[in-house]
Structure 1
Amino acid sequence: MDKKITDIGHLTGKVLLFGGVYSNLQALEALIAVAESEGIPPENCICTGDIIGYCAQPEETIQTFKNWNAKSIVGNVEIQLRDDEDDCGCDFREGSRCDNFSQQWYPYAKSKLSKDSLNYLETLPDHITFTIGNQNVMVVHGSCFNISEFIFKSTDWSIKAKNFSATKSDIIIAGHCGLPFLDQQDEKLWVNPGVIGMPANDGNPSVWYAILDDSEQSTTVNFRRLDYNYKRTNQLMLNGLLPESYAKTIVSGIWDNMEILPEPEKQLQGKTILL
């Protein structure tokens, strides 16, 4: 099946980048407030997918995102929901804690979405392309080859290089792995802005996004923390239908487990992220 790629043209000024809203309405509302305060129009706000996920308000989150009119590609969760599949498609190891938890939050999310929300998911492309300055940008979820591929800062550059070659991009904006990072070689830039729906395993309940900006002589990437009403998110998740461990992570900033992480990222648990 051919991938749907949407070219949104040439962008100027600030471009707000984020991923993994994960049904966290409170974080999304806080991010929209940031965009408005910074004067960043919705067409310059881009999500790397997984608008739906672990938290308690999938329908409200989709509708708020839709009404905001920001851009997004599909994450693996959107594809599974859109195609009426029975699992999240996250590529978790079968029988792992993440896999077991997904058997709670995914059916919950699926049961809450309206036909209108599912129709909206049908409109989302697989990839978004644009230019900023004189650079070509591609937005992917996992990688351009595999939507569920986990790519981290420690992932060998040769894997990232294949994505740049295949997409003819100078900058790749990616999601899925849940951790913010920047990796640069040979004038190619891999940016994961992080996710706003869950903390980054750093012991802090605030979450991450990034701003791409061409207002200086060269395009810059600025990573930022987002503070939001995480206590409200936590309370809503303690509904007896969602994993309590994920509700705890919302407050503690520490992941329940590190099954998906390579060893270098495991060593960073609970440590302040400096970007």
Structure 2
Amino acid sequence: MRIAIISDIHSNLEALTKALEIIDTKNIDEIVCLGDIVGYGANPNECVEIIKKRAKYVVMGNHDFAVAVDPTELAYFNSYAREANLWTRSVLTEENLEFLRSLPFTISLKNLLFVHSSPAQPREWEYIFTEAQAKVQFKYFTEKICFIGHSHLPGIFPETGFYNGKIDKNNRYIINVGSIGQPRDGDWRLSFGIFDTDTWTYENIRSEYEVDKASLKILQNGLPDFLARRIIIGR
């Protein structure tokens, strides 16, 4: 089975559309979304509708949670994210809000764990940036691989040793697939992952998309210009 794992779309319709165009050429069996469908960008309803149709499995992200479940969480967001999420909540349809409210925090499938932030505390939205932070997390899940997003930084963390470009069935991994809608590793191109459960191989996909169009729509909807600039530079 070939699984496409996407995360952190953040209402970026142009990036999501391009990612799905690529996925449609890759002989993918299932799509898993690791959350944060909304936030920051200009097309929250459109992105939620697409994910409802295309992703078989979806987990809750912190922006999804703050927008649809507990607005008090916005107190922990920076001013740009808070403003964008208040706007997002005001424009989302009730049907799409209900969909976001229904999402689980984790999904386990075929010895793979899918979570937005971390396996240790899925509802606390902690970040995994470093190998040291990743090492602590392995005792909190039993699956061979845990796929995450949240930091918007693609990366692979093995439980033992160092990642040498191949997934070893005898090792365990935490894999960050990066962000579809708002990469932050200095590369503005969208990022997602493809994992093959038969060959036990993983591929990170990067692609250009209509970033200028997505950026302009952020401005046209009165959202912070910082968010419009950010997706162009990938930071």
TM superposition score category, shorter chain reference: 0.7 to 0.9
CA contact (8 A) 1:17 1:46 kept: yes
Q: In structure 1, what is the Cα distance between the partners aligned to 2:138 and 2:219?
A: 42
Aligned: 1:227 with 2:212 = no
1:146-185 aligned at under 5 Å gives the runs: 146-147=122-123, 148-163=125-140, 167-185=141-159
CA contact (8 A) 1:23 1:53 kept: yes
Residue 69 of structure 1 deviates from its aligned partner by: 4.0
Residue type matched to 2:190 in 1? V
Residue 185 of structure 1 deviates from its aligned partner by: 2.3
Q: In structure 1, what is the Cα distance between the partners aligned to 2:98 and 2:221?
A: 28
The counterpart of 1:137, out of the listed 112, 130, 149, is 112
Aligned: 1:211 with 2:194 = yes
1:94-131 Cα deviation digits (max 9, x unpaired): xxxxx111221110111110011012113322111111
1:159-208 Cα deviation digits (max 9, x unpaired): 22232xxx211111111111000011231110000010112331x32121
Q: In structure 2, what is the Cα distance between the partners aligned to 1:214 and 1:139?
A: 14
Secondary structure of the 2:220 match is coil
- Which sections of structure 1, spanning at least 5 residues, go unmatched? 1-11, 93-98, 256-275
CA contact (8 A) 1:182 1:189 kept: yes
CA contact (8 A) 2:5 2:193 kept: yes
Residue 80 of structure 1 deviates from its aligned partner by: 2.2
- Residues matched between the structures, number: 223
Report the counterpart of residue 97 of structure 2 in structure 1: 118
Q: In structure 2, what is the Cα distance between the partners aligned to 1:146 and 1:125?
A: 10
Q: Give the percent of matched residue pairs that are identical in Structure 1 and Structure 2.
A: 25
Report the counterpart of residue 25 of structure 2 in structure 1: 37
Q: In structure 1, what is the Cα distance between the partners aligned to 2:135 and 2:72?
A: 34
Structure 1 segments of 4 or more deviating over 4 A?
none
Return closer, same or farther for 1:155/1:197 CA change in 2, 3 Å cut-off.
farther
Report the counterpart of residue 267 of structure 1 in structure 2: none
Secondary structure of the 2:212 match is helix
Q: In structure 2, what is the Cα distance between the partners aligned to 1:170 and 1:188?
A: 5
Report the counterpart of residue 62 of structure 1 in structure 2: 48
Residue 240 of structure 1 deviates from its aligned partner by: 5.8
Return closer, same or farther for 1:67/1:157 CA change in 2, 3 Å cut-off.
closer
**TM-score with structure 1 setting the length:** 0.76
Residue 230 of structure 1 deviates from its aligned partner by: 0.7
Report the counterpart of residue 75 of structure 1 in structure 2: 61
CA contact (8 A) 1:174 1:192 kept: yes
- Which sections of structure 2, spanning at least 5 residues, go unmatched? 161-170
Report the counterpart of residue 105 of structure 1 in structure 2: 84
